Amino acid sequence: MKITYWKGVFCAEHSPGDESLLRKSGFVMHEPTLCEQSKCKACWAKIGRRYWSARVEHATRLRPYCNERALGAMRDHLGKLATSRATDAQIVIPAPEGLKYLPYQRGGIAYALQRKDTLIADEPGLGKTIESLGFVNYIRAKKVLVVCPATLAINWKIEAQRWLVDRYKIFIPKTTSDRVPEESSTPLLVITNYEKIIGVAPRPKQIAVEQIHMSSGPHESTPRAYLDELAQVMRVSGLETPIVVLQAGDGYRIHSGQIQLTVAKRLGWKEISAIVLGANTPPESIPSDARKIQLDTKLRASLRRQWDLGIFDEAHALKNPEAQRSLAVLGEGGLYHHTRRSLFLTGTPMENRPKEIWPIAATLCPARFGDWWEFARRYCGLHQESRGGAKRWVSDGSTNASELQQRLRTSIMVRRLKVDVLKELPPKRRQMVTMSDDNVDWSQYPELRQSNQQFSDYDAALARLEAAKTLLEYQAAAKELESVTIEFTECSDIRHKTGLLKLPSCLTYTDQLLDGGVDHVVIFAHHKDVLEKIHEHYGNESCVIYGDTKMKDRIPIVEEFQSGRKRVFIGGLRAAGTGITLTRAATLVFFESDWNPATMRQAEDRVARIGQKRMVNILHPVLNNSIDANMVQKMVAKQAVIDKVLDHLPEHVRRQQTGMPKTRMPT
């Protein structure tokens, strides 16, 4: 078989045994006598009766059979595919002193620099946040907007303070009544969440019936309603269905809604519950469903300005084009249209089916993906089904998946898997994730607020350890540090209250991980009531090992998780931290921590052990401004120092031992 390129199409010279491979690759047989010649590219190319395709994505699947002419035609396409999988790039990206980007992060930034808008769809855990901040550093954006889930806003701020080269004024609005600061010479970074950009639904008002007039013209809407049925519904439910009206002089004019004015009058109503909009509101901008109306808040209005860069994290939240968050970002007048460049970040651009990526793809590249019906027919298996006695269009399938991936990669999407870059990553990657405390009732446990005084003894002992010059000094400082650690471990009351206080935020965070593409998660906590609440939240998706779980029952529980029948493993730090293997997961989340480093390492090694072929992400979600955040920050940052205390002495201290030379001499 041989594939060549001729007048804009790829065509095949083949034997009968090649037909199955050609059809599987997307090629079709051209029948000149049966096609509409004026619209047929194959007829225009005069290839006769042959298998052919006008799509380069189909030809790439048959590269071994392509001649030089065909390979030349797909060279640009193959180059774009390669850059979307790039594990490095020869590019210099500004970074703060002491920090550097991983090679594949440079490759992702290089891909984004070649485009106005980019979908960064790297597998979860590969550092899309750092990649985005590197992009900010390279283009030196002065006005940056970040929209992310509420639980990640503080974490974005921490990473920005660490990675941004320029000094930005960072603003995180607390309520929808806050306004974005006015423009100044200082670069501005605004971090908000999807809930705050949606707007608010207008409150219905009571309007006298005699003040309302029927509208006239093409926008009039008078839905049908039977008087008896309507009266019965209103009488039983006690509800008044809102209608949408426009102000008009001293009275109001009906624009659209669910109740006819004549119906209200015949029922004897004196007033109607109505949503009142401005007289200058364009009729075409008012949805027929009053519940879909969203009015600007002070925050939303102040966000409607020109941004140098918009970053939309966990962008799979925009998969439903009718949802308010999708309309607020991608809809007409949405935030995307107020950005000069945009980055959309998600580890799972398609959670379940191809139609979920269409809203983003159609917005970022309308030339390729803008036509919904063409997209659905080509990639979603669009067809009609009879449901409830009526025919409906169904687009829940998946077709031509390989072609769709290539079209995404060559236009808007860069995506690398852990398996592609694993050799560049450590076996473990520890990260503290600081969650917002806006919805936390600190009045329950005010003692859990961060207090620097509580850590002064620990800091002093740690400083003396690092400054030790002799063996005796090092041993004394190590002993003092261990004694401080024991004191923290014994603060069981603080640990318990902290675990309960941050539990709702932690559950929201792990929900986002699972929704964002993480297949399996291991969760460790210390207190039984915390473990029980986690298990209650995940129900049949989870399995759990408590301290009082019988030994004979533990192996079946672990096998349930290892076989994939359960998605979430929940275990006590002491009960499940040793003796079991949980390599089904590569993501480990500590809802509660232990100040004994050995206990934490034992728990980590349930996942990071023989049989694990992926990098292990070890996550510590903490509440902002809490003692817990301070504790975990010190634990993660000083893990190497603690390891030295427990496992071995530093080289310069080891040499202080009596008679020990710098190099061992032969005996």
Q: What is the pLDDT of residue 304?
A: 92
**One fold for both 103-198+302-386+393-414 and 205-292?**
no
Map residue 239 onto helix, strand or coil. Answer: coil
Distance CA 264, CA 289 (A): 19
Q: Which amino acid is at 26?
A: G
Question: What confidence category does residue 449 fall into, taking pLDDT thresholds of 50, 70 and 90?
Answer: low
Distance, CA of 273 to CA of 493 (rounded, Å): 52
DSSP for 50-71, written as a single string: -EEES-HHHHHTTGGGB-HHHH
Q: What is the pLDDT of residue 597?
A: 67
Distance CA 490, CA 15 (A): 78
- Beta strand pairing call for 251-256 and 243-248: antiparallel
Instruction: Decide: 526 and 500 in contact? Cβ < 8 Å.
Output: no
- Give CATH superfamily name and number for 103-198+302-386+393-414: Tandem AAA-ATPase domain (3.40.50.10810)
* Mean pLDDT (the chain, rounded): 80
CATH architecture of the domain 205-292 equals Alpha-Beta Complex (3.90)
Arithmetic mean of pLDDT, 53-65: 89
The answer to whether the CB of 562 falls within 8 A of the CB of 583 is yes
Report the greatest alpha carbon distance in the chain.
Answer: 112
Least confident interval from 86-100, 208-222, 380-394: 208-222
Domain ranges of the chain: 2-73, 103-198+302-386+393-414, 205-292, 430-647
Q: Residue 221 — pLDDT band, cuts 50, 70, 90?
A: very low
pLDDT tens for residues 235-246? Answer: 555 555 566 676
- Chain length of the chain: 667
Q: For the full predicted model, state whether its pTM sits above 0.85.
A: no
Q: Lowest mean pLDDT: which of 31-35, 40-44, 196-200, 216-220?
A: 216-220
4 has pLDDT over 60 = yes
Q: Which fold has domain 430-647?
A: Rossmann fold (3.40.50)
